[in-house]
């Protein structure tokens, strides 16, 4: 089976004014589709790997042949990261986390605002292209990490709870070089319900289809 591009769970314009329709179309239809195409091409001779859910594939890179490992890491990570990213954005603006996730954030970071500040700082610290993440480690503890390019926290045994794409293609049409404005806008469109579900889940799969 080949990996496929998941549909957006909302209209392309649903996140305006925070993310514009043109950016969403290019980001989803072009950039994400390219990761899917390149991943399928890399795995064309390895059907046993392409049958794995993409989150399992990214968590088992040691099983990927050395000759295609870089391509799978890059394109598989791009597919996994974006498949989750779309779900972590919501047209229901300006919500806050609740329940166990909120309690864990308050306990770990002191408050929601302190968490947002630290996450924002991490997002702005990424040099070049990459991602900022709120992850859960194997002990169930929250931490903020960053990854370069399309590297996935799944490859480090971490469960992504919240993620922000800080590649320029995610924001340049609207925000140009003003990444801080993009990160500020992100907080208005976080799908905290999805993040909470991932925090609560034992498996925390991203639900991508292969």
Annotated binding site: 27, 82, 165, 169
Q: List pLDDT tens digits, range 71-106.
A: 999 999 999 999 999 999 999 999 999 999 999 999
User: What is the CATH superfamily name and number for domain 21-87?
Assistant: Fe,Mn superoxide dismutase (SOD) domain (1.10.287.990)
In the chain, residues under CATH classification 1.10.287.990 are 21-87
Which residues lie below 8 Å from residue 145, measured CB to CB, with a gap of 6+? 122, 132, 133, 135, 153, 158
Q: List pLDDT tens digits, range 140-187.
A: 999 999 999 999 999 999 999 999 999 999 999 999 999 999 999 999
Annotated binding site for Mn(2+): 27, 82, 165, 169
For the question of whether the overall pTM of this predicted structure is more than 0.95, the answer is no
Chain-centre distance for alpha carbon 21: 19
Residues 35, 82 contacting (CB under 8 angstroms): yes
In the chain, residues under CATH classification 3.55.40.20 are 99-200
Level-2 CATH architecture, domain 99-200: 3-Layer(bab) Sandwich (3.55)
């Amino acid at each position: 089976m080949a990996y496929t591009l998941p549909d957006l769970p909302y209209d392309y314009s649903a996140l305006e004014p925070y993310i514009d329709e043109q950016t969403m179309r290019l980001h989803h239809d072009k950039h994400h589709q390219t990761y899917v195409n390149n991943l399928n091409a890399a795995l064309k001779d390895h059907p046993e790997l392409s049958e794995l859910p993409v989150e399992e594939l990214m968590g088992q890179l040691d099983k990927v042949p050395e000759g295609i490992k870089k391509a799978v890491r890059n394109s598989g990570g791009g597919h996994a990261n974006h498949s989750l990213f779309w779900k972590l954005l919501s047209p229901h603006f300006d919500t806050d986390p609740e329940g166990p996730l909120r309690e864990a954030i308050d306990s770990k970071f002191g408050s929601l605002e302190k968490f947002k500040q630290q996450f924002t700082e991490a997002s702005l610290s990424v040099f070049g292209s990459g991602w900022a993440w709120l992850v859960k480690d194997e002990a169930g503890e929250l931490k903020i990490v960053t990854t370069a390019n399309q590297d996935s926290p799944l490859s480090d045994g971490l469960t992504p709870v919240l993620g922000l794409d800080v590649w320029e293609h995610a924001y340049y049409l609207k925000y140009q070089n003003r990444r801080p404005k993009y990160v500020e806008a992100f907080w208005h469109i976080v799908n905290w319900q999805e993040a909470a579900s991932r925090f609560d889940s034992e498996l925390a799969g991203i639900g991508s289809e292969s």
